Amino acid sequence: MARSVTMVPGDSALQNAPRKSAGRLTRWLGLQRAFFADAGALWGAGLTLAVLVLVVVGPFVAPNPPIDFIGVPFEAPSAHAPLGTDIVGRDVLSRVLSGGTVILSLSAIATLLGVMAGGMLGISAGYFRGLADDVIMRTLDVLLAFPQTILALLFVSVLGTSFTLIATLVAAIHAPQVARVIRAAALRVAGEDFVEYARGVGASPLKIMMSEIAPNVIGPLLVEFGLRFTYSIALIAGLSFLGLAQDPPAANWGLMLNENRIGLLENPWSVIVPVMLIAILTVGVNLLTDAYGRWAASGAPRAVPDSTSVGEPL
């Protein structure tokens, strides 16, 4: 006599959990080995971490308040001012230690917003295709047709200095470019068997995009985040240089370049040090981004479909 078997909903997910956990651990260990074997990744992490630590800790260890006058303008480095003074006699070292917070925080927020918006638009276009794809991508093409940096300068100069406005504008600049890259990745994933299976068992489009497609485009998305973060730093530093991000006497690396460029021959450290820090951070992030791109191409940190909510993976 045949024995009937009662299937309990969720059994498949419970049985798959140990296997998925082991797979994640294996990929994580493989990623760690690849990281420590990659000289570019190590250099990138070291440079990036050094600047980030300086930005976070700097305001607390600055020897003087960044807006206080401690000497004559463009005084040479001395015991009481290791990097000398700036155009009005403020301590360059204290302003350098306090001047990266706004640029980095705005860059991180703007990049995160832009990558999230662009990623969602790209995934939607790649999944729905057809008319929805055309509407989304042609609208983004119109936005790309405008000179984006000039457009940002126009809005900021007309609407005034606002951190919210700057972060929104920079995010809007990044979103169309991110969407184009993620759409191409999503188009490949949307044709896979596990996505068709998810459709077949009645999963909603939002659930498929979030559970099946998004994890499989995380590699390109993280690479885009690194690239757009460096662009954000350059753009926001440029706005600061023009006085459109913060007003004097705020301590800001970009603003320091504008203020002290006329004294470059008298005390170059007031210009050289902020430029070097921006350059070091940009190089560090680019090295990490390149390393992750190599790992993603080789399959080391590749995502796997999350099929616990819709059934067995194929």
311: pLDDT strictly greater than 50 = no
Confidence band for 110, pLDDT divided at 50, 70 and 90:
very high
309: pLDDT strictly greater than 60 = no
Asked if 129 and 91 count as a contact pair (C-beta separation under 8 A), the reply is: no
CA distances in angstroms from 217 to 140, 196, 211, 238, 241, listed in the order given: 20, 17, 11, 31, 36
pLDDT of the residue at 268: 93
Residues 37-60+69-298: name the CATH superfamily.
Answer: MetI-like (1.10.3720.10)
pLDDT of the residue at 112: 95
Kindly state the DSSP code that residue 261 receives in the 8-state scheme.
G
Q: What CA dihedral angle connects 103, 104, 108 and 111, to 10 degrees? A: 50
Average pLDDT over residues 259-283: 93
pLDDT of the residue at 283: 93
307: pLDDT strictly greater than 50 = no
Dihedral sign for Cα atoms in the order 177, 223, 181, 132 = negative
Asked if 179 and 136 count as a contact pair (C-beta separation under 8 A), the reply is: yes
Least reliable range by pLDDT among 7-11, 115-119, 159-163, 217-221? 7-11
For residues 118-154, one letter each, b for 16 or more C-beta atoms within 10 angstroms of the residue's C-beta and e for the rest, the string is: bbbbbbbbbbbeeeebeebbeebeeeeeeebeeebbe
Average pLDDT over residues 118-137: 91
76: pLDDT strictly greater than 60 = yes
Asked if 233 and 279 count as a contact pair (C-beta separation under 8 A), the reply is: no
pLDDT of the residue at 9: 44
Asked if 303 and 215 count as a contact pair (C-beta separation under 8 A), the reply is: yes
pLDDT of the residue at 245: 83
Domain boundaries, the chain: 37-60+69-298
160: pLDDT strictly greater than 80 = no
Higher pLDDT, 154 or 257: 257
Higher pLDDT, 307 or 241: 241
pLDDT of the residue at 297: 67
Average pLDDT over residues 81-104: 93
Alpha-carbon span 119 to 103, nearest angstrom: 23
Q: What is the average pLDDT value for the chain, to the nearest integer?
A: 83
293: pLDDT strictly greater than 90 = no
pLDDT of the residue at 98: 93
47: pLDDT strictly greater than 90 = yes
| pLDDT > 90: percent of the chain | 46
pLDDT of the residue at 32: 65
Confidence band for 23, pLDDT divided at 50, 70 and 90:
low
pLDDT of the residue at 50: 95
34: pLDDT strictly greater than 90 = no
Least reliable range by pLDDT among 54-63, 90-99, 140-149? 140-149
pLDDT of the residue at 31: 60
Alpha-carbon span 188 to 122, nearest angstrom: 12
Decide: pTM greater than 0.85. no
From 22, 294, 306, select the one nearest 189 (Cα to Cα).
Answer: 306
Alpha-carbon span 21 to 280, nearest angstrom: 37
Count of beta carbons in the 10 Å neighbourhood of residue 210: 15
- Residue-wise pLDDT for 192-245, tens only, equals 888 888 888 888 888 888 888 888 888 889 889 999 999 999 999 988 888 888
